[in-house]
Structure 1
Amino acid sequence: MIRAYAAEDVRRAEQPLLDAGEPLMDRASRALAHACRDVLREKIDNADGQSENSDGQSEPRVLVLAGPGANGGDGLYAAAHLREMGILSAAIAVMGPTHTAATAALRRAGGAVRGIDDLTAHATERMVAEADLVVDAIVGLSARAEAPVHLHALLETVRRSGVRVVAVDAPSFTDPDSGAADPHALTAVRTVTFGAAKRGLLLPPAADLVGELEVVDIGLGSHLPAQPEVLRLTDEDVRQLVARPVRADTKYTRGVVAIAAGSDAYPGAAVLACTGAARAGAGMVHLLAPRRVIDLVLHSRPEIVGHELPGGTDDAGHPGGAADGTDSDSSATPQDVPLQLPQRTDALVVGPGMPPHSQTARRGVAALTSGTCRRGVIDAGALNAVSGQGDLGADVVLTPHRGEAERLAERLGIDTHQDPASLAVALAARTGATVLLKGAVTLVAPGDGSPLLSQDDGVPQLATAGTGDVLAGIIGTLLASGLDGPRAAALGALLHGRAGRLASRGGRAPLVAADLPTLLPEVIGTILCPDPAVDSGA
Structure 2
Amino acid sequence: MNQPSLPHALYRADQARALDRAACLQPELSGRELMERAARAAQRLVAARWPQARRICVLVGGGNNGGDGYALARLLRRAGREVRVLSLVAPERLRHEAAEACRDWRAVGGAIEPWRGGLPEDAELLVDALLGIGLERPLREHWAEAVRALNAHPAPVLALDLPTGLHADRGAVLGEVVRASATISFIVLKQGLLTGVGPGCCGRLHWDSLGVAEGLLTAAPVSARRIDWASQCACLGVRRRDAHKGQCGHVLVIGGAPGMSGAARLAGEAALRAGAGLVTIATHPTHAALLNLTRPELMVRGVEHGGDLGSLLARADLVAIGPGLGRDAWGRGLWQRVLECRLPLVVDADALNLLAEQPLRRDDWVLTPHPGEAGRLLGCGTAAVEADRFAALAALRQKYGGVLVLKGAGTLVGGADETPPAVCSDGNPGMATAGAGDVLTGVVAALIGQGMDAGEAARAGVCLHAAAGDRAARAGERGMIAGDIIEAVRALADGRENHHA
- Work out whether the TM-score is over 0.5: yes
1:159 matched residue in structure 2: 151
> What is the distance in 1 between the residues matched to 2:405 and 2:161?
28
1:55 matched residue in structure 2: none
Q: 1:61 to 1:235 in 2, by over 3 A?
A: farther
1:361 matched residue in structure 2: 335
Give matches, 1:172-251, under 5 Å: 172-218=164-210, 219=212, 221-224=214-217, 226-251=220-245
SS in 2 for 1:141: coil
Q: 1:161 to 1:418 in 2, by over 3 A?
A: closer
| Aligned-partner residue type, residue 192 of structure 2 | G
TM-score, normalization: structure 1?
Answer: 0.80
Does the CA contact (< 8 Å) of 2:13 and 2:169 recur in 1?
Answer: yes
Does the CA contact (< 8 Å) of 2:252 and 2:320 recur in 1?
Answer: yes
> What is the distance in 1 between the residues matched to 2:385 and 2:39?
42
Does the CA contact (< 8 Å) of 2:251 and 2:319 recur in 1?
Answer: yes
1:459 is aligned, of 406, 416, 428, to: 428
Give matches, 1:316-335, under 5 Å: 321-324=307-310
2:113 matched residue in structure 1: 115
Does the CA contact (< 8 Å) of 1:171 and 1:185 recur in 2?
Answer: yes
User: CA offsets per residue over residues 302-334 of structure 1, 9 Å max, x none?
Assistant: 22234x35xx324xxxxx643126xxxxxxxxx
Count matched residues.
Answer: 476
1:171 matched to 2:163:
yes
- Structure 1 or 2: more helix by fraction: 2
> What is the distance in 2 between the residues matched to 1:410 and 1:17?
43
> What is the distance in 1 between the residues matched to 2:463 and 2:174?
28
The gaps in structure 1 that reach 5 residues or longer are 45-58, 315-319, 326-338, 530-535
Alpha-carbon deviation of 1:274?
Answer: 0.9
> What is the distance in 1 between the residues matched to 2:80 and 2:233?
40
| Aligned-partner residue type, residue 313 of structure 2 | Q
User: CA offsets per residue over residues 8-47 of structure 1, 9 Å max, x none?
Assistant: 1222222233134513222222112112222214xx3xxx
> What is the distance in 1 between the residues matched to 2:491 and 2:123?
40
1:25 matched to 2:35:
yes
Q: 1:150 to 1:537 in 2, by over 3 A?
A: closer
TM-score, normalization: structure 2?
Answer: 0.85
1:373 matched to 2:337:
no
User: CA offsets per residue over residues 494-521 of structure 1, 9 Å max, x none?
Assistant: 3333433444557652122222212223
> What is the distance in 2 between the residues matched to 1:481 and 1:226?
35
2:119 matched residue in structure 1: 125
Alpha-carbon deviation of 1:472?
Answer: 0.7
> What is the distance in 2 between the residues matched to 1:17 and 1:404?
42
> What is the distance in 2 between the residues matched to 1:519 and 1:410?
36
1:341 matched residue in structure 2: 314
Deviates more, 1:20-29 or 1:165-174: 20-29
Larger Rg: 1
Stretches of 4+ moved more than 6 A in 1? Answer: 415-418
Q: 1:488 to 1:227 in 2, by over 3 A?
A: farther
SS in 1 for 2:207: strand
2:465 is aligned, of 484, 489, 496, to: 496
Give matches, 1:80-99, under 5 Å: 80-97=74-91, 98=94, 99=98
SS in 1 for 2:119: helix
Alpha-carbon deviation of 1:293?
Answer: 4.6
User: CA offsets per residue over residues 50-88 of structure 1, 9 Å max, x none?
Assistant: xxxxxxxxx533221111221112222223233344443
Alignment RMSD: 3.0
> What is the distance in 1 between the residues matched to 2:188 and 2:494?
30
Q: 1:150 to 1:506 in 2, by over 3 A?
A: farther
Alpha-carbon deviation of 1:170?
Answer: 0.9
Does the CA contact (< 8 Å) of 1:361 and 1:381 recur in 2?
Answer: no
Give matches, 1:385-396, under 5 Å: 385=355, 388-393=359-364, 396=365
